[in-house]
Amino acid sequence: MPKNPAQCQFVVALDSIVGKWKPMILYHLLQGQPLRFNELRRLLPDITQRMLTLHLRELEEEEIVKRVVYPQIPPKVEYSITEYGKSLSPILEALHQWGLAHVQRKQLHKGNNEQTETD
Amino acid sequence: MPKNPAQCQFVVALDSIVGKWKPMILYHLLQGQPLRFNELRRLLPDITQRMLTLHLRELEEEEIVKRVVYPQIPPKVEYSITEYGKSLSPILEALHQWGLAHVQRKQLHKGNNEQTETD
DNA sequence: CCGCATCCCGACCGATACTG
DNA sequence: CAGTATCGGTCGGGATGCGG
């Protein structure tokens, strides 16, 4: 981490990851399999087409995700993680690990407080 | 990373890190020095008191940041990173590294496109 | 010095309907 | 099947002013 605040670039990385659905989209794509639009929709039960499209476009823009259109009827579009996109994997992994520990920690505190807190 | 999507916890971690100013607050606090409220304000030139307070409260809530009040006139409050909060350091670091590579990558592409793109 | 309360705006996201 | 267009709600966050 640089001593000079101006050179901090976590925000850049966060911009690529953040968004209500981006982490989950990336998660599924990082499994390796290319996925069609509607396959992704099924995997993200609560996402709307709109949001899926928008987030995929952003990820595509940053070359984290590759979009392949098969010119046929009915249309077929496949999304896959790029080699570059795979470089995000360790970060997601680290985030996941920390998140896991964090929820467990919260659970513990909750348990402890339920005895002392009479409010 | 778990095979089961339901167990993914990056979102939890992201919640703790995300917010317009949280990464920068954490960055400054991770330097080790406890900082007073107005010191943080000076370090984050564009933040409003409101936002600084809110974000600090959230970080305090999750025990990432410790708040110490010195009962004196004029008031003095010091914020510091907790031991637990320090566990975020590797993540911020990884995020920073990736962000750095990402901006450089973008720079390159921009340079390449400026010759081919006549739009 | 530190912080809360209020008002307000714009971005993000959801719902729905329509198209090639 | 894979999108685009439009409308509207919600909410993070900015500006300002007051209080201990």
Q: What are the pLDDT digits (tens) for B19-75?
A: 899 999 999 999 999 999 999 999 999 999 999 999 999 999 999 999 999 999 899
B21-50 residues touching A, CB cutoff 8 A = 23-24, 27-28, 30, 43
> In this predicted structure, what is the pLDDT of residue A114?
58
Q: What 3-state class would DSSP assign to A4?
A: coil
Tokens of A74: 């009915």
Handedness of CA B70, B75, B76, B81 (dihedral sign): positive
> pLDDT tens digits, chain A, 119 residues: what are they?
888 887 888 899 999 999 899 999 999 999 999 999 999 999 999 999 999 999 999 999 999 999 999 999 999 999 999 999 999 999 999 999 999 999 999 888 767 765 544 33
Instruction: Give distance CA B59 / C1' D1 (Å).
Output: 45
> Does the pLDDT at position B117 exceed 50?
no
> In this predicted structure, what is the pLDDT of residue A116?
47
Q: Which pLDDT tens digit goes with each residue over A17-45? A: 998 999 999 999 999 999 999 999 999 99
Average of per-residue pLDDT across B81-97? 95
Q: What 3-state class would DSSP assign to B42?
A: helix
> In this predicted structure, what is the pLDDT of residue A30?
96
Q: Report the distance separating Cα A76 and Cα A53, nearest Å.
A: 14
Q: Report the distance separating Cα A10 and Cα B22, nearest Å.
A: 11
> In this predicted structure, what is the pLDDT of residue B115?
57
Burial B80-97 (b: 16+ CB within 10 A, else e): ebeeebeebeebbebbbb
Q: Report the distance separating Cα B81 and Cα B35, nearest Å.
A: 10
> In this predicted structure, what is the pLDDT of residue A40?
97
B15: CB within 7 A of chain C nucleic strand? no
Q: What 3-state class would DSSP assign to A77?
A: strand
Q: What 3-state class would DSSP assign to A82?
A: coil
> In this predicted structure, what is the pLDDT of residue A99?
93
Q: Which pLDDT tens digit goes with each residue over B7-17? A: 888 889 999 99
Nucleotides on strand D lying under 7 Å from protein C-beta: 1-6, 12-17, 20
A20, A51 Cβ separation under 8 angstroms: yes
Four-CA torsion A81, A82, A86, A88, nearest 10 degrees: -90
> In this predicted structure, what is the pLDDT of residue B119?
36
Q: What 3-state class would DSSP assign to A21?
A: coil
Q: Which of residues 34-73 of A touch strand D (CB under 7 A)?
A: 36-39, 49-50, 53, 56-57, 67
> Does the pLDDT at position B113 exceed 80?
no
